[in-house]
Amino acid sequence: MTAYARHSTVIAEGEVSWELRSVNHRYFDATLRLDKLFYPIEIPLRKQLADKLARGKVELTIKFQPNVDHQQGSDIDEKQAEQLLQQCQWITDHSQQVVPIDPVRFLQWPGILTKPEVDADMIRQTALDGLGQVIEQLIEGRQTEGVTLAKLIQQRCQEINVIADNYRKELPYYLAQHQQRIEKKLHELNVQIDPNRLEQELVLFLQKSDVAEELDRLESHIKAVEQALQREEPVGRRLDFLMQELNREANTLGSKSISISGTNDSVQLKVLIEQMREQIQNIE
């Protein structure tokens, strides 16, 4: 979701410029920094952003730079000047000391000098029309980043599949090894035990250690991640949910582990899932 776009256009009144930034965020959050001229169109601007962008912390800046003629030209508001002169005259009439009026300071009084009027409606419409182009530039930047992130996530998915396959293949060996350790321990202690009871305990242990369902769900979630990456629509929230499910399965595998190798596999799974989760924060 990290991207940047900028655009400007020159019109008769001056130059309108747009800057649009986007960083990672779980939801859509827009901040607008506008010149006072654009305050009346803040709501339509926000709607354009919300219609095109689903996630991310977005900051939009729109500025208007009037051309040289508008910057340098100034007119005297005769009505305001006349009123101010009358007030100055009243003060002079009621004062013991007569102070001459300083023309420079007089012209600096708020409202005396006015800038030439601009076509505000036309400038605002230009701002609205040009925003779509800036948003498209931002989306292109996001898509470029998304292609790279998708490849990284797919690599992590492949690594998780390899770990899950190895875990599934090695599990019978570790279960048999565990049974042998129990029998050897009983033999060393020279303890006589009912074979049927021993068999029952081993069955209970196997049931508690069975992770076939967890491995099946893990592989199913990985397939769902890979399918989501192929969709032509925002999938960030769906991927967030799948990361939670993958992490839950990895934790269960760790709690049911009966070997150091199984525990290490569980830790490695959680590392890969966390790496994917961090990358998914950048996906809309």
Minimal CA–CA distance to 152: which of 16, 265, 266, 277?
277
Better-predicted residue by pLDDT, 99 or 170: 170
| Helices assigned H by DSSP within the chain | 42-52, 68-72, 78-93, 103-107, 120-189, 195-209, 212-229, 236-256, 260-280
Better-predicted residue by pLDDT, 99 or 49: 49
pLDDT(220) > 60: yes
pLDDT confidence band for 95 (50 / 70 / 90) = confident
Please state, in angstroms and rounded to a whole number, the distance separating the CA atoms of residues 89 and 105. 16
Phi, psi of 198 (to 5 degrees): -60, -40
Q: What is the pTM of this model?
A: 0.59
Minimal CA–CA distance to 211: which of 242, 167, 268?
167
Better-predicted residue by pLDDT, 254 or 42: 42
* Contact (CB, 8 A) for 168 and 213: no
Minimal CA–CA distance to 7: which of 20, 21, 24?
20
Residue in this structure with the two tokens 């256009």, named with its chain if needed: 9
pLDDT at 161: 93
How does pLDDT run across 110-135, given as a tens digit for each residue?
777 666 667 889 999 999 999 999 99
Mean pLDDT for the chain overall: 83
Rounded average pLDDT over 20-30: 87
- CATH code of domain 145-280: 1.20.140
Q: One-letter amino acid identity for 70?
A: H
214: left (phi over 0), alpha (psi -120 to 50) or beta: alpha
Please state, in angstroms and rounded to a whole number, the distance separating the CA atoms of residues 283 and 149. 8
Q: Kindly list the domain boundaries of the chain, sorted by start residue.
A: 74-114, 145-280
Tokens of 85: 């002169």
